Amino acid sequence: MMALPTATTAGQPHALTRVLEACRRRHGAAVARRSSRGGTRNGWWWALLIATLGGTTGCALEPAGAPMATVRPSAGGTLLPEQLMSGGYPSLAPLMRWVTPAVVNISVKSAVPIDPHPFLRDPEFRRFLDRFGLPEPTEEGLAERQSVGSGVIVNAARGYVMTNDHLLQNATEIQVTLKDQRRFRAQRIASDARSDVAILKIPPVDVRPLALGDSERLEVGDFVIAIGNPFGLGQTVTSGIVSAVGRSGVGGNRIGELIQTDASINPGNSGGPLINLAGEVVGINTALIGPSGGNVGIGFAVPSNRARAALERVPR
């Protein structure tokens, strides 16, 4: 493993040294104790981890000699950076407490045509029926199918929930379950098959909605978090980075350019949010590539700017 340098040329402190010192000044003895307890190696680990979280911990790298910046809440009331600590350690747990109440599980009952029995496509079987003068059996009607997915509350006062359009195909009944286990019947009020985004309506709820961020600002390497209901297990959080932006050719290019991420996305995550470290929705999880239908680190989300366009088409 390559050792991290301790200084740069011309006697200037290495960037990570300055990050660690800034965090020691900001968070006091807690960081100092953990860095000294494990020696230099742990000190660099802490500097890297805190630098990774950057602005979320309030320890982003500052120019040499610059005063410590004052951390203030954003105009939108997002989580304060210094709150992203748990037990003195950098943690995403406070952010999850902030955002997960707005993420919902969606259960859909749909009516799908019954597929004909394979025997009916077998020429030998048909000849057998003809030989004995037997009528060809018919299978008509619809079968009920139940599927699960996810969604995100984007307007609590109006009860608007954003999800995937493909999840709702042929839906006869849609049920939305909040994190606190409240359940509501939902109706689809808008959809856009080209972006695979749909808007559901439930009664108004006392939940903090999640804001849609600017997906145009996403870059490869940005940290993101996927929240959803994989395999119907219940609300689950996974994390990763943006692996690519503007990815096309997925699903026959039917839904345009997508965000690619290695945050684990599985069946049941469809319609759930992909969020950044500011707690903003930057994508709506929609697809994955895997040999057996499970995650192999290649998932896709509809950019939030395209999802916003679908929301703006909802009648006011």
Alpha-carbon gap, residue 81 to 91, rounded angstroms: 11
Out of 147, 150, 166, 195, the active site residue is 166
Residue showing tokens 């008509």: 140
Out of 191, 196, 243, 304, the active site residue is 196
Alpha-carbon gap, residue 217 to 224, rounded angstroms: 13
- 196 a catalytic residue: yes
- 206 a catalytic residue: no
Hey, what are 233's tokens? 């297990």
Handedness of CA 116, 118, 122, 125 (dihedral sign): negative
Cα dihedral 184/285/162/174 (nearest 10): -30
Alpha-carbon gap, residue 192 to 243, rounded angstroms: 25
Residue showing tokens 């395209």: 306
Cα dihedral 38/39/42/48 (nearest 10): 150
Counting every residue, how long is the chain? 316
- The H or E element that residue 310 is part of is helix 304-312
- The H or E element that residue 131 is part of is helix 123-131
268: number of Cβ within 10 Å: 23
Phi, psi of 71 (to 5 degrees): -85, 125
Phi, psi of 61 (to 5 degrees): -65, 135
Alpha-carbon gap, residue 214 to 216, rounded angstroms: 5
Hey, what are 284's tokens? 């709506």
Alpha-carbon gap, residue 24 to 28, rounded angstroms: 5
Handedness of CA 123, 125, 131, 134 (dihedral sign): negative
Out of 147, 150, 270, 304, the active site residue is 270
Catalytic residues: 166, 196, 270
